[in-house]
Amino acid sequence: MTEQEQEHDVADTGSSTRSGFVALIGATNAGKSTLVNRLVGAKVSIVSHKVQTTRAIVRGIAIHDNAQIVFMDTPGIFKPRRRLDRAMVTTAWGGAKDADQIMFLIDSERGLKGDAEKILEALKEVHQPKILVLNKIDRVSPEDLLKLAKAANDVVPFERTFMISALNGSGCKDAMDYLAKALPEGPWYYPEDQISDLPMRQLAAEITREKLFLRLHQELPYSSHVETEKWEERKDGSVRIEQVIYVERDSQKKIALGKNGEAIKAISMASRKELSEILEQPVHLFLFVKVRENWGDDPERFREMGLEFPR
C-alpha cells in the first residue's frame, strides 16, 4: 500500500472508528484482572485470590461496535512497604495518568475502606474522565449499592456509575457500550485479532506464576518470580518451554518443589494444560527452581517484569 493510500485509508476509517486506553485502577483484589479478562473475552491477565498478583501493566484489547478499547490492568494500589511495592504503585498511577478514561473499580462487599478510600481521595487530582464501577454486586443488597455509589460520587463526580459482576458478566455490556462511544475518534492501535500486547514468553511466565500462587498461596510469599528462559518450536509442531522460578531462600525452594517434587509437578501440569490451550499446540514445559537472594533489589528483574526500578 502506498503512503497516499495509507493516508486515504485512515481518512476513510478515522471518522467512523474510535480507539483509546482505559486504565483500571483500584485496591488489591477488587477484581481488575477478572474484569479485564471478561471484557476482552480471553485470558490476558493472571487471576488469584492472593492480593497484588498483577505486577506490571497488562494491556487487554477488545473490539466493541466500532471501537477498539485497550484496557490497562494496573497493579492494585496499596501502601507500599518494599521496593517492589513502590514500583507497582508508581506503575499503577502512571498508567492512570496516561489513559483516555479511568475506570475505578470497587469491591462492593468491602466498600470504601482502607486503600479504596485513599485512592478515591487521590483521584481528585487526576483530570482524565473517570467512571465508577462497583464489582461483586451479587453479594450486596441494592440499597447498600446505591449508598456506596452516592458516597463515592460525593467525593469524586464520576461521569457514569456501573454496577457489575466481573465473574458472571452482569452489567459489563453497559460499561462497554458507554466506553465505545466515549473514546476519541481515530484509527485502531492494534490489529483486529490481537488481544494483548504482552509477548508470549512473558504471558507464559505469568501463567506459571498464577499456578504457583494458586497452589502455594498459603505458604509461598511474594518473593518469587518466573522467567521464560528458552522457547523452542519443534518440527513435530510442539513447543519446548523452559522456565525458572526464582525464590530468595532455600526454605522457599523446598516449598516450591514440595514433598517428592509434588508441588512443582502439579504447577507444571496446570500451566502446561493452559498454555497448550492458548497456543493450540502441544507444550513440553520444564520448570526449575533457583535461589537468587534479594532478587527484589535487582534492577534486571524489574525490567523483566516491565517495572521501573525505584531508587
Q: What is the pLDDT of residues 139-186, one digit of tens each?
A: 999 999 999 999 999 999 999 999 999 999 999 999 999 999 999 999
76 in Cβ contact with 89 (< 8 Å): no
168 in Cβ contact with 13 (< 8 Å): no
Q: What does the pLDDT read at residue 218?
A: 64
Instruction: Look at residue 251 and give its three-state secondary structure.
Output: helix
Instruction: Look at residue 211 and give its three-state secondary structure.
Output: helix
Q: What does the pLDDT read at residue 34?
A: 86
For 67, phi then psi, to 5°, come to -115, 140
The whole-angstrom separation of Cα 32 and Cα 183 is 20
88 in Cβ contact with 307 (< 8 Å): yes
Task: Show the cell assigned to 193.
Answer: 485479532
CA angle centred on 302, ends 97 and 62, rounded to 5°: 50
Task: Show the cell assigned to 17.
Answer: 472508528
Residue with cell 502446561: 272
The whole-angstrom separation of Cα 266 and Cα 179 is 40
The whole-angstrom separation of Cα 67 and Cα 96 is 20
Q: What does the pLDDT read at residue 206?
A: 82
Task: Show the cell assigned to 91.
Answer: 506503575
Sort strands 101-107 and 130-135 into parallel, antiparallel or unpaired.
Answer: parallel
Q: Considering only the C-alpha atoms of the chain, give the largest distance between any 2 of them, rounded to a whole number of Å.
A: 65
Q: What does the pLDDT read at residue 140?
A: 93
Task: Show the cell assigned to 47.
Answer: 487471576
The whole-angstrom separation of Cα 29 and Cα 155 is 22
54 in Cβ contact with 46 (< 8 Å): yes
Q: What does the pLDDT read at residue 220?
A: 64
Can you list the residues of the chain whose pLDDT is less than 70? 1-15, 43-58, 74-96, 198, 218-223, 294-311
> Does pTM top 0.85 for this prediction?
no
The whole-angstrom separation of Cα 37 and Cα 167 is 10
Q: What does the pLDDT read at residue 37?
A: 84
Q: What does the pLDDT read at residue 17?
A: 93
Q: What does the pLDDT read at residue 213?
A: 82
CB atoms closer than 10 angstroms to residue 54: 24
Sort strands 58-64 and 67-73 into parallel, antiparallel or unpaired.
Answer: antiparallel
